[in-house]
Amino acid sequence: MVLASAYNSADDNAWCPGCGNFGVLQALKLALAGLNLEPWQVIMVSGIGQAAKIPHYLKVNCFNGLHGRTMPAAFGAKMANHKMTVIAAGGDGDAYAEGGNHFVHAMRRNPDITYLVHDNQIYGLTKGQASPTTGLGTLTGTTPFGSVDIPESPLAVAVAMDCSFVARGFAGDIEHLSKIIAAAVKHRGFSLVDILQPCVTFNKVNTYQWYKERVYNLDEDAAYDPKDRNKAFTKALEWGDRIPTGIIYKRERPVFEDSVFKPADKSLSRQPFTPPDSLELMRKYA
Amino acid sequence: MTKDITVGISGAAGMGMQSISFTLAKSFLRAGYNVFVWQDVMSRIRGGNNTSMIRISTSPVNSLKEDFDVLVALDLLAIKRNALKVKAGGFLIYDGEKQRAEEPKAGWISVPFEKLAAEAGGDKIMMNSVATGAVLSLLGAEVVKECEGVITELFSKKGETVISGNLRALKSGIAAVTPGVSGKFMLAPTLKINSKNKALINGSEALGLGAVSAGLKFYSGYPMSPATSIMEYVAAKAREYGIVLEQAEDEIAAINMAIGAGYGGVRAMTCTSGGGFALMIEGVSLAGMTETPVVIGISQRPGPATGFPTRTEQGDLNMVLFAGHGDFARVVLAPATAADGPLIMSRAFNLAEKYQVPVFVLSDQYYNDSSFSVDLAEVRVEPVNRGGVLAEFPGSYNYKRYDLSAGRVSPRLIPGAKDQVVYADSDEHTEEGHITESAELRVQMVDKRAGKIAEIVPDMEQPFYFGSENPETVLVSWGSSFGAVKEAADLLNASGKPAGILHFTNIWPLPEIKFKFNESAVKSFICAENNYSGQFADLLEKNTKLRFSGRILRYDGHPLTAEYIVGGLEG
């Protein structure tokens, strides 16, 4: 049995006191321990931003790459190690702005990777500018007269892309979030978990209190069928007085790895190194 | 008797010039000649005017001539654009019934391609075999048997009717050239070699093949001419050799995928051209910072921006040398010929893993799209050196990815090792791979990454030298220009002007150059490059004792030729 404490890291934490990221970190540790994964069996890939520091605060394999480039790096790491658990993490700017194109194509590709997006609707590390999910009219450093670009609905985008697992969590509800993350990791295919993550320093609108008054647990609604894509689309767009958390959409489909690996194949990185002879390949041109 | 001949096959895109040139080249290769084929194409799928240029020689040949001895014009535009490039005494083969815009001139031979094709097999497309036959008739009927064999192989999947139709079309093409003219360019006999010892392969195939045989396990790329054909080679082999290949959404994704796979522990590559590489540059510095091995193939074409997309140039050397923010080590290699492809690729992957750096393989449209005669006995590779990559590590959670006690290259552990985790970080980092704010560590880590260059230098190979021991002129070149520059030096020596060629395939870091010729005899070092400014000459002048008294540069989209270089020396 693996304990959540097995994932503790000695690295100094650079998050603000009270940051929503702490809730995500704790939920992730609980989820991984619950899945009985050893730290060395997990690779985390992240981009840049406060959220993207999360792999350092865990004991796991980590590739902390570039802002926005989390998905491609995670895909490469997964293809070299398809028998390992690969989890990607980053913020809303990382995932939906700089990484928007990669996010869309990751869903098309459908590798067995879980993507945790810490969505605080603001740019934190650059000290308070608008993000793709910032609400209309919000005053930020770069929108002094209020944000005029309509916010993206990442969950609706994911449902539209037929993403194989689409969920929303709330950093203020660690227990539910850890269940969602565990389900996402267990799900075979690309899983998006958009996490409502209060930024206590720069987002004075979407606070813990603001979310607590609005979120409800969709997983407790027995009548809701996450396999129904049309209903999932409607649910994904629900935002305002009531905000659903839980599994919005779920769909089984072949993963990318199925197109290249047989079930018995070891990870590429652990296969014997036996390349073909160049002269033999060249003879085909004689 | 002719020892060296150049044939052009010209027509609209889609008319089959490449299939005619392939058939001719393969036939002459099998008959023991040396052949070289370049494709001069326009950026379009149908129409326009494209020309395949085939050079056939009794001596080794890796370059082109400026003009044609024989031109096959498949349509009217082909005559209009290329008739003036037919040398005096040469021949232009065309369809006098179909292409009747001009008065025929001396040396124009009308062969009714379509009519003869229809008679031979009932299919217009067989005009390609008629045209092939007409060329054979001028160059030497000795090769007809080989040509029949090549046609039979080429159409083996299309059935007996297609094969026999094409063979009849070939014969009627041969017969269509009048007896007084046929054999006019009869090639000097050559020793017929065992055809299994020679291959006709283009540069892209040679690079793809080199990568696969170096143990490539992951390829990601976004299509861009002229690099796409490397990706297509790897794609065709991916299943057989257990390679994961993915077409990325853009070049940014492509390089980040390859770096992710490199971190993951496999040999990974991405290839592109200059514009695509511009998008990859952020990733280059990620590889430098995280010390992740990755091979990046750049097949140059003339820029800037979209540029002259289907033509050739060596204009991206500076970009490759300086791409990426911050200081870190890199390696740049540039193959000279297709025979060189596997060696360069095996070195690229070895150096990438040995020093944990990005390695660039710099080619160009001329290299990628040209078919070279490769003597299989000359194909070499460097034995695999994976730089001591580790699958397991003793102890429990005590591995340090950037261990400074191990020198500039720290032991590289593959993630997934029991009871160990591997942290790689694009931020400045501690030995463990965690983010740091320490100025002291910052200095140590920069010294580690950038200082590797000094360790790589002794691993770099000397430039080739060919020519006189006491050269008055030394031509200096790099990469794909080898064939043309070598031929220019040969021409100078043959005309009593002692010359040599100093040619580099190991571009950066530069080795400590040792001259294999009498330096005191040299009156001038001249660089010959396929770009506007002499980018490699600048690099050499900055970093070596070499100083150039002249630069022969070409940037019209065409490759360097010996004639161009000799003309430049005289002019």
pLDDT exceeds cutoff 70 at B96: yes
| Contact flag B416-A279 (C-beta cutoff 8 Å) | no
- Checking if the pLDDT of B141 tops 70, the result is no
pLDDT in tens, B405-432: 989 999 999 999 999 999 999 999 999 9
Averaged pLDDT for residues A86-106: 98
Could you count the other beta carbons within 10 Å of the beta carbon of residue A84? Answer: 21
Average model confidence (pLDDT) for chain B? 95
Strand, coil or helix: what is B319? helix
Cross-strand partners of B551:
B527
Tens-place pLDDT, residues A41-51: 999 999 999 99
Helix pair B144-154, B160-176: axis angle to 10 deg = 150
Q: Is A113 on the interface with B (CB under 8 A)?
A: no
b/e for B14-44, b at 16 or more Cβ within 10 A? ebbbbbbbbbbbbbbbbbbbbbbbbbbbeee
Whole-angstrom distance, CA of residue A195 vs CA of residue A20: 9
d(CA B357, CA B91): 53
What's the pLDDT at B22?
A: 96
pLDDT given at position B268: 99
Q: Which of B256, B370, B402 should be substituted to probe chain A, the one whose Cβ sees the most A Cβ atoms within 10 Å?
A: B256
pLDDT the model gives residue B2: 87
pLDDT of residue A256: 98
List % helix, strand, coil for chain A (3-state, nearest 5): 35, 20, 45
Nearest to B58 by CA among B193, B183, B203, B196: B193
The DSSP annotation for B27-77 comes to HHHHTT-EEEEEEE--SSSSEEEEEEEEEEESS---S--SSEEEEEE-SHH
Can you give the pLDDT at residue B188? 87
Structure tokens at B32: 């023991």
pLDDT for residue B195: 61
Give the closest residue to A14 by CA, choosing from A4, A22, A5.
A22
What type of residue is B221?
G
The two three-digit tokens of residue B80, written as one number? 């209009």
Residues of A in contact with B217 (CB under 8 A): 80, 268
**B286/A277 touch (CB, cutoff 8 Å), yes or no:** no
Give the separation between CA B385 and CA B408, rounded to whole angstroms.
Answer: 17
Q: Return the pLDDT at B191.
A: 73
Tens of pLDDT, residues B386-397: 998 999 999 999
Q: Which of A72, A268, A277 sits opposite B248 (nearest CB)?
A: A72
Give the list of residues 6+ apart from residue A144 with CB closer than 8 angstroms, or none.
none
Looking at residue B75, what is its pLDDT?
Answer: 93
Residue A161: give the domain boundaries.
Answer: 4-283
For B162, which DSSP code? H
Q: Does A88 touch chain B (CB under 8 A)?
A: no
- Nearest Cα to Cα of residue B59 among B512, B491, B526: B491
Cβ–Cβ of A80/B214 closer than 8 Å?
no
Q: State residue B99's pLDDT score.
A: 85
What per-residue confidence (pLDDT) applies to B495? 97
Sign of CA dihedral A181, A185, A188, A191: positive
pLDDT of residue B1: 81
Question: CA of A98: which chain B residue's CA is closest?
Answer: B252
Which has the closest alpha carbon to A43: A11, A89, A6?
A89
A43 interfacial to chain B (CB closer than 8 Å): yes
Residue B418 Cα, gap to closest chain A Cα (Å): 6
Residue of B nearest to A88 (CA): B260
B105/A197: higher pLDDT: A197
Q: Hey, which residues 256-275 in chain A have their CB within 8 Å of chain B?
A: 256, 260, 267-271, 273, 275
Per-residue pLDDT at B101 exceeds 70: no
Residues of A within 8 A of B248 (CB-CB) are 72, 105
CA distance B258 to chain A (A): 6
- Maximum Cα–Cα distance across chain A: 74
For residue A277, the chain B residues in CB contact (below 8 A) are: 213
| Contact between B259 and A76 using a beta-carbon 8 Å cutoff | yes
Cβ contact A271–B242 (<8 Å): yes
Q: What is the pLDDT of residues B213-239, one digit of tens each?
A: 999 999 999 999 999 999 999 999 999
Specify the number of domains making up chain A. Answer: 1
Peptide bond into B304 cis (omega under 30): yes
- Does A101 contact B250 at a Cβ distance shorter than 8 Å? yes
CATH code assigned at A11: 3.40.50.970
* Residue B558 pLDDT > 90: yes
> Which residues of chain B make contact with A76, given a CB cutoff of 8 A?
218, 220, 256-264, 268
Please give the average per-residue pLDDT across A46-61, as a whole number. Answer: 97
Model confidence at A146: pLDDT above 80: yes
Nearest CA in chain A to B424: A63
**Minimal C-alpha gap between A234 and chain B (Å):** 28
Element (H, E) at B11: strand B4-13
Give residue B33's pLDDT. Answer: 93
Average pLDDT, chain A: 97
Say if residue A157's pLDDT is above 80. Answer: yes
> CB-based contact (8 Å) between A52 and chain B?
no
For residue B100, what pLDDT is reported? 77
Q: Do B257 and A84 touch (CB under 8 A)?
A: no
Looking at this protein, which amino acid is placed at residue B19?
S
Residue B414 and residue A269: Cβ atoms within 8 Å?
Answer: yes
Range with lowest mean pLDDT among A186-200, B186-200, B478-492: B186-200
Please name the residue of chain B whose CA is at the shortest distance from the CA of residue A275. Answer: B215
Contact criterion met (CB < 8 Å) for A69 and B212: no
SS3 content of chain B, % helix, strand, coil (to 5): 40, 20, 35
- Please answer yes or no on whether A55 and B198 come within 8 Å at the CB atom: no
For the stretch B109-138, pLDDT in tens is 999 999 999 999 878 889 999 999 999 999
φ, ψ of residue B358 in degrees (nearest 5): -75, 135
Contact A76 B217 (CB under 8 A): no
What is the pLDDT averaged over residues B444-465? 98
Query: Alpha-carbon dihedral of residues A123, B248, B350, B540, nearest 10 degrees?
Result: -80
Please write the tens of the pLDDT for every residue from B240-270.
999 999 999 999 999 999 999 999 999 999 9
Mean pLDDT computed over A94-120 = 98
- Residue in A with minimal Cα distance to B215: A275
Chain A residue numbers with beta carbons less than 8 Å from the beta carbon of B264 are: 43, 76-81, 268-269
Query: What confidence score (pLDDT) does residue B161 get?
Result: 93
- Confidence (pLDDT) at A239: 96
pLDDT the model gives residue B267: 98
Segment B3-49, tens digit of pLDDT: 999 999 999 999 999 999 999 999 999 999 999 999 998 888 888 99
Structural domains in chain B plus CATH codes:
4-193 (3.40.920.10), 200-378 (3.40.50.970), 404-458 (no CATH), 464-570 (3.40.50.920)
Could you tell me if B426 and A66 are in contact, meaning their C-beta atoms sit under 8 angstroms apart? yes
pLDDT of residue B183: 82
Do the chains contact at B415 and A75, CB–CB below 8 Å?
no
Query: What are the φ/ψ torsions at residue B310 (nearest 5 degrees)?
Result: -105, 5
Q: Say what percent of chain A tops pLDDT 70.
A: 100
Residue B193's pLDDT is 64
Closest by CA to A271, choosing from A280, A260, A258, is A260
Over 90: is that where the pLDDT of B97 sits?
no
The distance of B432 to chain A (nearest Cα, Å) reads: 10
Query: What pLDDT digit, counting tens, does each position of A28-39 carry?
Result: 999 999 999 999
Query: Measured between CA atoms, how close is A240 to chain B, in angstroms?
Result: 34
Residue B280, pLDDT score: 98
Q: Is residue A123 over pLDDT 80?
A: yes
- How far apart are alpha carbons A118 and A199 in whole angstroms? 10
Give whole-number Cα distances, A169 to A109, A176, A248, B29, in Å.
24, 7, 10, 67
Per-residue pLDDT at B194 exceeds 90 = no
| ipTM entry | 0.98
Mean pLDDT, rounded, for A89-96: 97
